[in-house]
Structure 1
Amino acid sequence: MGIRHLRALLEISKAGSFQAAAERMGLTHSAVSMQMKALEEELQTELFDRSRRPPDLNPTGLRLLEKAQEIINLYDSLAEAGSNQDDLSGLLRLGAIPSATTSFLPEALARLGQKHPRLQIRLESGLSTELTRELLQGKFDCIIITQAQRLDDALKPTLLREERLVVIAQKNKANEKIAKTKDGDITLLDHLPFVRFNHLTGVGRIIEHHLRTRGANLREIMELDSLEAIQRMVAKGLGAAIIPESSLTENSDLLVRPFGSPPVTRKVSLVEKHRGQRPDLTRALAEILKDALVTNP
C-alpha cells in the first residue's frame, strides 16, 4: 500500500466517482481502478459498493477514509520535522472565507512566502460552517472563519480582527434623509428591498440574528455570495444590504451607516485543533496575519 493509493481514495470520496477523481489527479480511469483494486486486495476487504453506478464507498471504505487522512497528514508533515522556526518548510493546508481571500489574506501569504520560501500553502475557500467541519475531519491544518458561535472543544481560535457591520444603500437625498433619523439603519432596510448576504455564512447568521432581534420588516429580493456583487447591486439603486465594513470598495455611490448602536460586529479568527499536526506553521501564519492587519487594517 502506497501513499498514492490513499490519496486516490480521498480524491474519489471528494469527486464522487472514479472518473472524476482520475481527471483531478491527471490519471486514467483504469489506473485509479487498479489502485483501488490493489488497496482492497492488500486490506483483504471491499471498500466500494460496486452494485451502484458510479460505485459508492461502503461502510468499511468510509471508516478507512479518516485513517487515510491521518496518514496523509503525517506524511505531508515529514518535511516540517527538519525545519526550524526561522526557516519553516512543509505543507500548510489552509481554508478561508471568501472575504478574507479578497482582503487581507493575499498580503499575509505573500509576506509568509518571503519569510519562509520553503513553506508551501494549499488554500481553499468556503463557508465558515463547511470549513469548520472539514478542519475537524482533518482536511485543513487551520482555517480563517467568521466566529459566529461556540466552537467545538477540540478547536482553538486566535482572534484576528473584530469589525463593524454596516448598512449600505444608494447615495441619494431620500436615503440620506432616512439614514439621519433615529434607527435610520433599520428604517433604510424596511424602506428598500433587501439584498441579503448568503445566510449560511458566519456573518450571514450574525446578520439574521440581529435583524430578528430588532424586528426588521424586510422585502428580500436577492441573496448573493459575493460582497462585491452586493455593493454593485446596491449602488445601482436595487436595494439595501448589510456587509462587513472592511469589505467596502471605493464607491462614491454608496451611503454607509453602522448597523446597530453600538454597531454589531463580527469576529474573524484563525482556528486550529488544540492538537494540530503543524503548530509551528499555524503559529507563523497567525503572527504574519496579525502584523498584516496592523499595517493594512
Structure 2
Amino acid sequence: MNLRSLETLVEIAEQGSFIRSAERLNMTLSTVSMQMKVLEEELGVQLFDRTRRPPQLTPMGRRVAAEAVGVLSASARLQRACTRSDSLAGNFRIGFVLTSSIRLLPGFLARARVAAREAHFAVETGLSDELAGKVVAGTLDAAVVTGGDLPRTLDTRTLTREELVYCLPKAAANWSIADCMSEMPFIHFMAKTGIGRLIARHLEAAHLTPKTVIVLDSVEAVSECVRAGVGFSILPEPDIRRAAGDDVVLRSLLDQPVMRELVLAYQAGGPFSENAERLAVLFDDALAEKEMLNRSRQMVPEDENIK
C-alpha cells in the first residue's frame, strides 16, 4: 500500500467520480482505476460498487477513505517534523482577535503541546487595532488579527482567508438583498473592527444603504439576532456557520467576493521576527488538522455497524 493510492481514494470520495479525480490529479483514468483495484487487493475488501455507473464507494470504501484522511495528515506532519531544523522554544505573549480565538486558539494550543513542548504561551484577546498597537508597543510578541490597515512597522504572515457572506433569517430566504436593505435592520458588526471596516467598504462600493442599522460587538450576538429574525448581516462564512449552523440562509456578496484575511502580525526586524515563521507553522498544522477532520467527518459512512 502506498500513500499515492490513499490520496487517490480520498480524492474520489470527495469528487464522487473517477473521471474528475483523474483530471484533478493529472492522471489517466486507467491509472486511477488500476490504483484502486490494487488497493482493494491489498486491503482484501471491496471499496467500490462497480455494478453502478459511475462506480460508487461501498460503505466500507467510505470508511477506508475516512481513515485515509488521518493517515495522510499524519504523514504530512511527520514530513514537516523531519525537515525542520529547530522548534519554537521560550515564553511568548500572543494576542488573538476574538472572532479568531474561538476557532483557531484551541487547535493551535493543542498542536503546540505536541510540536513545541518547550514553548509557553500567554494569550489575550481583543480587537485587531488594540492588539496591533500592543505588538508595536512590545507588550505582545505577535497577534492574530484581521489583515489590512495595520501599522507599517509590522510584518505579517497570512494564516487563512475567509469569505464574507450575507446571512439572512430563514423567513427572508426568498428576499432580494435590496428588499432586505429596505425592509429589515442591517446588523452591523462594529465598524471600528477589521471585519467591520471590510463590511462598511463593501456596502459603500456596492452603493447599498440599509434603512436601519443595529451595531453589535459580538459575532454570537449578531448570529442570534439573525437567527431570531431581527435582521440580516454580513459576517465571515466560518463564523456564521459555527454560530448559527443551518438556522440562517447564506448568500455570496453581490458583485465580487470580499475576503477577510487573518494574519500573524509581529514587529518587523524585532526580536520575535526570527520565531514568526515557526509560530506560523504551528497555525498551519492546526488548520490543516482541522480541515482534515472536517473532510473525514463528511466521509463517515452511514452504516456504522460495518465490520
Same fold (TM over 0.5): yes
Change (3 A) 1:265 1:189: farther
Report if the CA contact (8 A) 1:85-1:280 is conserved: no
Q: 1:209-228, CA deviations, whole angstroms, 9 ceiling, x for partnerless residues?
A: 11112222213443222112
| Residue 222 (structure 1) aligned with residue 214 (structure 2) | yes
Percent sequence identity is 29
Shift of residue 283, structure 1, vs aligned partner? 2.2
TM-score (normalised: structure 1): 0.64
| Residue 106 (structure 1) aligned with residue 98 (structure 2) | no
**SS in structure 1 of the partner of residue 235 of structure 2:** strand
**SS in structure 2 of the partner of residue 103 of structure 1:** helix
The one-letter code sitting in structure 2 at the alignment partner of 1:170 is P
The corresponding residue for 1:6 is none
The corresponding residue for 2:229 is 237
Question: In 2, distance between residues paired with 1:124 and 1:208?
Answer: 27
**SS in structure 1 of the partner of residue 287 of structure 2:** helix
Question: In 2, distance between residues paired with 1:190 and 1:176?
Answer: 15
Shift of residue 85, structure 1, vs aligned partner? 5.9
Report if the CA contact (8 A) 1:171-1:254 is conserved: yes
Shift of residue 96, structure 1, vs aligned partner? 1.2
Report if the CA contact (8 A) 1:163-1:245 is conserved: yes
Shift of residue 148, structure 1, vs aligned partner? 2.8
The number of aligned residues is: 206
Question: In 2, distance between residues paired with 1:100 and 1:141?
Answer: 17
Shift of residue 105, structure 1, vs aligned partner? 2.3
Question: In 2, distance between residues paired with 1:85 and 1:96?
Answer: 27
Q: 1:167-225, CA deviations, whole angstroms, 9 ceiling, x for partnerless residues?
A: 111112xx2222xxxxx345433332111111111010110111112222213443222
The corresponding residue for 2:258 is 264
The corresponding residue for 1:202 is 194
The corresponding residue for 2:128 is 128
The corresponding residue for 1:137 is 137
**SS in structure 2 of the partner of residue 168 of structure 1:** strand
Shift of residue 258, structure 1, vs aligned partner? 1.2
1:1-297 → structure 2 map (5 Å cutoff): 86=86, 88-149=88-149, 151-172=150-171, 175-178=172-175, 184-247=176-239, 248-249=241-242, 250-297=244-291
The one-letter code sitting in structure 2 at the alignment partner of 1:169 is L
Question: In 1, distance between residues paired with 2:200 and 2:89?
Answer: 42
Q: 1:136-164, CA deviations, whole angstroms, 9 ceiling, x for partnerless residues?
A: 11111111111132x43321111111111
Q: 1:32-90, CA deviations, whole angstroms, 9 ceiling, x for partnerless residues?
A: xxxxxxxxxxxxxxxxxxxxxxxxxxxxxxxxxxxxxxxxxxxxxxxxxxxx9645432
Q: What RMSD in Å do the two structures reach over aligned CA positions?
A: 2.0
Question: In 2, distance between residues paired with 1:85 and 1:91?
Answer: 20
Question: In 2, distance between residues paired with 1:107 and 1:164?
Answer: 21
Q: Which runs of 5+ in 1 are unaligned?
A: 1-83, 179-183
The corresponding residue for 2:26 is none
Shift of residue 243, structure 1, vs aligned partner? 0.5
Question: In 1, distance between residues paired with 2:258 and 2:177?
Answer: 12
Report if the CA contact (8 A) 2:182-2:210 is conserved: yes
Q: Which runs of 5+ in 2 are unaligned?
A: 1-83, 292-307
